[in-house]
Structures are given as C-alpha cells and as structure tokens.
A = this chain, B = another copy of it.
C-alpha cells in the first residue's frame, strides 16, 4: 500500500472485518466491543484460561487490557499471547492502572516477559511507570504516584514535557520491540527509530470512561487489517502508519463529536453517542484536511 493511499485502510478494515480477541476489563468491555464494530472489526471477549488459546486461534488479533484483573488474568493472557505469537498475530497491550498496585505491575511484567507485543498503548503515567520499572525493577517503591487509571496531573502532555515523553516512548519501543503509543493532548506514536505526533483529539475524550480502551480496539482492528505488519523494516514502518492512522482518525472522530455536542448543548452522554456515531460513519473521504500527524 502506498502512502498516498493509506487512508484506504479505513475501508480495508470494514472489508476484512478482522476478529479481535479481547481479554479485557468488565468496565469498558461493552464500549470496546462497540468501537471495534464501529470501525469495521468484529470483537470476541473470552478470558478463561481454558478457552483463550482456541479463541486466539480463530481470531486475527489479540487485545490484552489489565483493567479489573483477576486471579486467572495472568494465565489467560500468557496462554493467549503465546498462541498469538506462534500464529504471528499482532498483540496489543494496554497496561491499565500499572501504577495502582504491585499486583497489576507483576501481571504486566509477566505478560511482557512471555509475549512479544506489537503495540503498547497507555497514558503518559502508565508508559512512564512501565519504562521506569523495566529500566530498574528494584525502583518500584520510588515511583511517583499515579492518579488511579488516569494520567497524573504532572504527566499531562504539554508543550513543556513533550520532548521527554517522546524519549520515553522511543526507549520503551527500543526495549520491547513494540510500537509505543502515549495518548494525551498530543498523542505520540513511536517505533523507536521513527516517531509521529498526533494532534487530533479533544479534552472531552478524557471525560468518559473507556476512551483509551476503545482506541485499543480501533488500533487492533487497523493493525489486523494490515497484512505485512510482521515483515521486518517494512513491517515496522507499515505498523507505524496503521497505528498513527488509527489514532488520528479516532481523535478526529472525537473532535467532530465534541463539535456536535457543543452545538446541541450536550454533555458527556451526548458526546459518547456522537463519538460512536463518528467512528461508525467515518470513511476515507471524511479525512480530507482533518488529520494532523507530524513527523517528530
């Protein structure tokens, strides 16, 4: 696929209807499923160790999300992850709430130790904490605090700290081999060697639960629809494009939903509805002039 036709990936997702196996939390499972359906994929949620290998086997992509983990999460994620790796399926990891407990941190480190991850997506606090842990596993007790599952105020992406966060994303990609996505006011997508800054999106997205999880689902669908994701350099470059496009399209849908919300004097309920509307209606022709992706 040539760069100038990259927008056609939107149609390709709807055509291929990739099946996304989600091992995720019970708070945002519904919204994640609806976001996957809205962008053209097909979701299947299954998290019991006894069935995840088979479900991964019939799917096109695996999405691991550590919100509301339970005692079976570690086994289920490792079993599914190894099977996805064996089949060369992409694996998306969202380390939700890595800073809230040693239990989640341990779960995420175990997953990373056993599964090759294709894309890691989190907010600035989550990605920063993950990198710190990987760099020096003993420093856990010295971590700056996290604000639950949201980014800490000091981690809000601004003009001042963007350079540092780009370095964080690059370093995590270099260590893990995954494309790293840090979402915030500006989104950062990096393969380690190449980085994109995405300035689509709006503040309303942080006011509904699950906007990160929904993006995971959209990224998973786009990545699954790209055939060549695993093939060496071209693969990483194609992956960077697919993830950047997914993130930018998602942000653009958010912007348009925010505009509609304002026009109808609505709040977060209306925003949520309009956001899903935009994701489900977005086609290649809707992108013209809207995407805001910069090379860093």
Contacts and interface: CB of A to CB of B under 8 A. Distances in A.
Contacts of A26: 26, 29, 45
Copies of this chain, how many?
Answer: 3
A43 interface: yes
A101 B45 contact: no
A70 interface: yes
A63 interface: no
Interface in A207-266: 207-210, 266
Contacts of A101: 46, 50-51, 54-55
A37 B47 CA distance: 27
A69 interface: yes
B150 A42 contact: yes
Nearest to A69: B48
Interface string A100-128: 11111000000000000000000000000
A256 to B, nearest CB: 11
Given A37-B207, A46-B68, A148-B44, A103 B51 contact: yes
Interface stretch (A160-168, A191-199, A272-280): A272-280
A190 to B, nearest CB: 27
A149 interface: yes
Given A269-B275, A272-B269, A48 B30 contact: no
A97 interface: yes
A288 interface: no
B33 A209 contact: yes
A27 B59 CA distance: 18
Contacts of A33: 27, 209-210
A58 interface: yes
B27 A45 contact: yes
A271 to B, nearest CB: 8
Contacts of A279: 267-268
11 contacts: A27-B30, A30-B31, A34-B208, A34-B272, A37-B207, A42-B148, A43-B149, A45-B68, A48-B70, A207-B280, A266-B277
In the A-B complex, list the 10 residue pairs whose CB atoms are closest, starting with the nearest. A269-B276, A267-B277, A44-B148, A267-B280, A51-B101, A51-B103, A269-B273, A33-B209, A26-B26, A268-B280
Given A33-B210, A55-B100, A269-B276, 14 more contacts: A26-B29, A27-B29, A30-B30, A33-B209, A34-B272, A37-B207, A37-B208, A43-B149, A48-B69, A51-B104, A70-B72, A207-B280, A267-B278, A267-B279
